[in-house]
Amino acid sequence: MSERTTLILDGGGGGPRHKPGDYLYFSGSATRLNQGAWGLIRVLPGQSDSLQPLPDNSAPAGTWTPPSGTSPPPTTDPGNPCPAGAPTHSFAVSAVDVPDSKTTKVTAAYVRTADVASIQGGTKKVEPLVLHVAAGECVQVDFRNDRMANPLVPTSPKASFSVAKLDRNPESSGVNVGYTSEQNVAPGSHGVTSTSLIRRSWAAQQSPTSVLTRPRPACLVRSWSPRAGQPSATRRAA
């Protein structure tokens, strides 16, 4: 038994803004994802010796050389897909541990950073995080990892913040895949301020790729922190 999927790119490679980078595509089913139903589309910023231009497309200017090394470089700039003059809606979001009172298991949840102390102190219950934005707004998220660090591996568990169906640069994708810069955030520990990253996306008013133009204005937020079988564990895929 086999399945076939056709990818239709709004605006072509790199979206309407033709932004170079590595873009993840995958099956929405968690089972299919873990079975390997995912891949990436690499939009190059220049010509490559290993690729020939298509006859109906002009070759890009300049040349492109694959980055060397196995570790992702740090993200120093989240990029800015927002047009000039777009109003900015900012959020501070944290990943926290949520213990299960009936078992010894600990799960993770997204919460507002302002609620972290109350949730960790047990005075406030965790509720599904809903962030409301309007079409046309620039969405900026200051994401922190306030999970408890592993004493044996202080840089884990890592967490990421990825919003689907909003226009953003690969540097704000929240997905560690291909040659994208580091998208995971390590936890804070022993009272040290948690490390954080800025994520910036645009809730386009007219773009068909923006879920805010659809009848059900909601988009999924998820973490692509490293885990066996998920794309984020496949750094530097060629």
pLDDT tens column, 84-110:
888 888 999 999 988 777 777 778 889
Domain locations in the chain?
71-238
| Average pLDDT across the chain, whole number | 77
Q: Where residue 32 falls among pLDDT bands split at 50, 70, 90?
A: confident
Which residues 6+ apart lie within 8 Å of 81 measured at CB? Answer: 17, 19, 167, 168, 169, 172, 200, 201, 202
Which residues 6+ apart lie within 8 Å of 191 measured at CB? Answer: none
Beta strands in the chain (DSSP E): 21-26, 38-43, 88-99, 106-112, 138-145, 162-163, 167-168, 196-202, 221-222
Mean pLDDT to the nearest integer, 126-151:
88
DSSP state of 235: B
C-beta neighbour count of 216 within 10 angstroms: 6
C-beta neighbour count of 207 within 10 angstroms: 20
What is the CATH number that goes with domain 71-238?
2.60.40
Q: What is the pLDDT of residue 113?
A: 92
Alpha-carbon torsion (38, 10, 137, 133), positive or negative: negative
Q: Inform me whether the pLDDT recorded for 230 exceeds 60.
A: no
The two tokens of residue 12 are 């072509």
197 touches 176 (CB < 8 A)? no
Q: Inform me whether the pLDDT recorded for 41 exceeds 60.
A: yes
Q: What is the pLDDT of residue 220?
A: 63
C-beta neighbour count of 188 within 10 angstroms: 19
The two tokens of residue 194 are 């948690």
* Alpha helices (H) along 70-219: 116-120
Per residue in 187-220, pLDDT tens? 873 333 334 566 777 776 543 333 333 333 455 6
Mean pLDDT to the nearest integer, 167-176:
87
